[in-house]
Amino acid sequence: MRHLTLKKFNQALRSQSGFSLMEILISLTLMGIAGSFVAGKVFQQLHEGNVKAAKIQMQGLAQRLQEFRRHCGYYPTSDQGLESLVNKPTGGRECKRYQPGGYLDGDVPLDPWEAEYVYISDGKTFNIISYGNDNVEGGEDNDADIPLKKKK
């Protein structure tokens, strides 16, 4: 009787075959391909979210600059910079009606890539630019600059 039970046990073991090495390698390859596709989509969505956040921040800064101009009659120059929204600018034209406490709560925000925004102004017009993911002027695709106002 014991011999019969051991024989059935061996037959049961042989009938429960596992995955072959080839099947395991194929499934790992397919999972790797699917994972890289998903990761690419996630990184693209992260980049798009950062671009939208930069544009929103720049629009907020533009509104503060408009307020500065209403009080002072001009935009801060490039040399005076966005820091003029936090502290009364020195050098160049003086703003006699500068709002006590400035135009921003706290410091000038950094862009989503933790870099300073580039501010360009002659006192009459202005533009704000984020150099984007690579923090270098120019670039294409995910490394393209993000301007508040498009060049004409």
Token pair listed for 106: 């706290």
Bridge partner residues of 130 (DSSP)? 146
Identify the pLDDT of residue 25. Answer: 86
Token pair listed for 67: 């307020």
CATH number at residue 101: 3.30.700.10
Asked if the model's pLDDT at residue 84 lies above 90, the reply is: yes
Range of the domain at 67: 43-152
Q: Distance between CA 31 and CA 37 in Å, rounded?
A: 10
Identify the pLDDT of residue 37. Answer: 76
Give the tens place of pLDDT for each residue, 9-19.
666 656 556 77
13 inside domain: no
121 inside domain: yes
143 inside domain: yes
90 inside domain: yes
Give the tens place of pLDDT for each residue, 104-144.
999 999 999 999 999 999 999 999 999 999 999 988 888 89
- The backbone torsions φ and ψ at residue 114, rounded to the nearest 5 degrees and listed phi first, read 65, 35
Q: Distance between CA 104 and CA 81 in Å, rounded?
A: 13
Residue 87 CA to its chain's centroid (Å) = 27
15 inside domain: no
Identify the pLDDT of residue 38. Answer: 77
Identify the pLDDT of residue 12. Answer: 61
Looking at the 3D structure of the chain, how many domains does it have? 1
102 inside domain: yes
Q: Residue range 73-96: average pLDDT?
A: 90
Identify the pLDDT of residue 93. Answer: 82
End-to-end CA, the chain: 94
8 inside domain: no
Residue 141 CA to its chain's centroid (Å) = 13
Give the tens place of pLDDT for each residue, 25-49.
888 888 888 877 777 777 778 889 9
133 inside domain: yes
Asked if the model's pLDDT at residue 55 lies above 80, the reply is: yes
In the chain, what percentage of residues exceed pLDDT 90? Answer: 55
Q: Residue range 1-14: average pLDDT?
A: 61
